[in-house]
Amino acid sequence: MTKTIQCISPIDGSVYAERDALPIEDARSKVAAAKLAQPAWAALPLAERIAYVMKAVEYIGSTKDRMTTELAHQMGRPVRYGGEFGGFEERAKYMASIAEEGLAPLVLEDSENFLRKIEREPQGVVFVVAPWNYPYMTAINTIAPALMAGNVVMLKHASQTILVGEHLADAFEAAGLPSGVFTNVVLDHDTTSALIAERSFNFINFTGSVSGGQAMERAAAGTFAAVSTELGGKDPGYIRADADVDAAVETLIDAAMYNSGQCCCGIERIYAHESLFDAFVEKAVAVVKGYKLGNPLDESTTIGPMANVRFAREVRAQVDEAIADGATAHIETFPEDDGGAYVSPQILTGVTHDMRIMRDETFGPAVGIMPVKDDEEAIALMNDCQFGLTASVWTNDTEKAAEIGARLQTGTVFMNRADYLDPALCWTGCKDTGRGVGLSIYGFHALTRPKSYHLKKIKK
């Protein structure tokens, strides 16, 4: 029996989109077509591959209204924020600008006796399993450099944002991409695991939960396919005694609450030096009290519903547990809070690392704030976590920020900013966040494999 994949809109709980999952035999046929298309695609000049990708990016730019409206319906982001095209385009353009450098051979010797070099060859078929929270930007992180490097791509998007895969497929079709080079598929979990286990893919990129990443690695066990993962996060912010409190509040609270807190590198816990703690909390509370929770299709809405009721349930559970254990909640329940997907944002003090709100991934509009006496205490608390994606340090001392950063167990260290992905820097993590490597020149290296040439020249 064919399985149906549904997108339940958080706006009203209705079925917004519904698609039949691809039967296993049909999925295998698409994999075969992708493998057949890859050699010819890789043989095209790099400039031509880049041009195809950028034409698809231009198409998405010409249909931004579709992006914005469908995102509001699928995962609840308010239309006032205009979708994701800015970051989507920035990342694709940057990767195009460094493609020649990133894919260039390393020539060690080219003499009358030897040619010794290391070339970069495409992995082959790249399987992208994309998440719903930033469904365009997270997808393009891998799709753009993978195609530029000569790979073909198969995209499986999250059920919550199933229409994003179709939008991207429309873009690549409009760009004139050869058949089989980019394929959007709707798959259930069993078919996904079966395809991976059958060595359908040479490289697997997964962004999602820790349990999802573990399932990917289990499915790929013994296939020797590379599995790149970006999983959970519990990113900290630290306000040192010399920090600009107003700037810290503006950025860190936005990083905690934007997208209803559903950001991979959003701020989920904050540590403020005890001399600034009261001022920071007071200003932070004032900011959050000014939010407008509501229908994301309403231009006045600043914080929309969470993408799914089950996500909202976890946020409420963590907040309620913390309050029961002695934490103080500073935000009264918003009138629009319906006990379902529409969740009131929350700021908590009196929290400890014995509480899940400071330990487990929340992925919602709630953040705990703790006072700390010095850098040593802050570093210890920031590292007291199973995840490691980003950390944000607020200070006017660049050298001190670098010293602190060197001791943090994280993939990216920010100073005086947060919740941003710089395409020139390697996007990576550690611990239970996974071992993925994306964007930057290292993104091209991950999506290709080194091939060595040791060519001896015979003189006659």
List active site positions.
230, 264
Largest CA distance in the chain: 88
